[in-house]
Structure 1
């Protein structure tokens, strides 16, 4: 394999475009001084490229070969770096470091780094993934995303989920405030003062959130939260609730409530696909802006903080914009499955 672009080229698309403009300006009968002033270049530059074009036509606009040190890295070494990175691991380790690989191939660590960059290889990185095994994966994607992109008329769509066991954590030492050049500091250890569960329903059209705090998240607690949604929703509107496949969402007590309130319809996301539920994006904001750096000495303080956060959010609520179509999502899943189904996997 040859590393494309390994040898540096001095000429660029912008440089060739400038030379072409010089030639075109001269072809219109303008003097060298006039062309130089018009294009903002030196007079010698115009003279040189005009003369080279007259002598060699288009070939004259390219750079002449320039002297320099010969390449010290062969194509075989480049190929070895790429193949070892993709197909091998060092003894006793899970992935290569640039110094280990450089020693094996016989080149410098900086050369290994440049090869990795050129081929988009990052062996030090890893990401988690889970492919849904839901037999109704495609149907559920089309159902949920369809509600985001084209919500039904005379209806409201809520993205609903629970954030269980939010901990009231108190740091063992006071938090040190931020100073110029010094970030906020807090102790790594903490004391626990109990947990609480948060039910949240995100209105996908307005961004408004309906929240309910509970000590547990059983089926009856989810039923009670549906009652709260019912109380905060115009009775003339149908209610579509997007939720995950938690057993509490499918319990008999929920089925009985749906029969008693036919304007409610539950839509389930595919298994292992919480990313498709928009309320998860709101939970991420809650975690980042309120919980990660919060200090709560009691459940009461945590409860107050959560209620304040929801009230503040609703004051300046904004919806999350969903742009991916069902076909785009399904195509991306298919492409990824095809890539990881090759012989190397």
Structure 2
């Protein structure tokens, strides 16, 4: 047993871990970490824990270390994975999206990854930008500039970029309860009603709805969202 990282759970922590293992949908790795901590708290050796939980000894060691050096939440969570720093900042990614959604350069039928990379070099301080970086950022936003049925933002000019940066700067500010940042959106919603009464379900048969419906006009749906906390008003 690794004495340096001895796990001693409080009663509250034991209850939390047992509740976690008792039900609900959780990642398999998180459940295994909970089992590791409970077994370590009960006095099991690292070898016994690894064998009973079905993990490697290094996993047992890391989980115990993260608990002792941190807390229960840290021990159950994923460790940050090292990776290359993102080439584009948040503002630059927003600019890339806006550019891809605008009309292509004169004489071009559509945007290509190479054209977008070149446009970003002109619009930012980057000396170069790979097509793969552009492709990944577009994929994250579900954008395919070569498709003709997508919704596009109009011309991206200096005024548009300046206003976009004002909005992005506002979103980047630290949360302030006295000055919440609220997003407002609206959408028309069609009201429909059944033309015929549905047929209730019976043993061996699903409930049935008629394909015909009656229009009952439209209403405007207004939604307000706080960007920094789980609050909304409809």
The TM-score with structure 2 as length reference comes to 0.46
The TM-score with structure 1 as length reference comes to 0.33
Higher helix share: 1
The higher-RCO structure (CA 8 Å, 6+ apart) is 1
Please say which structure displays the higher CA radius of gyration: 1
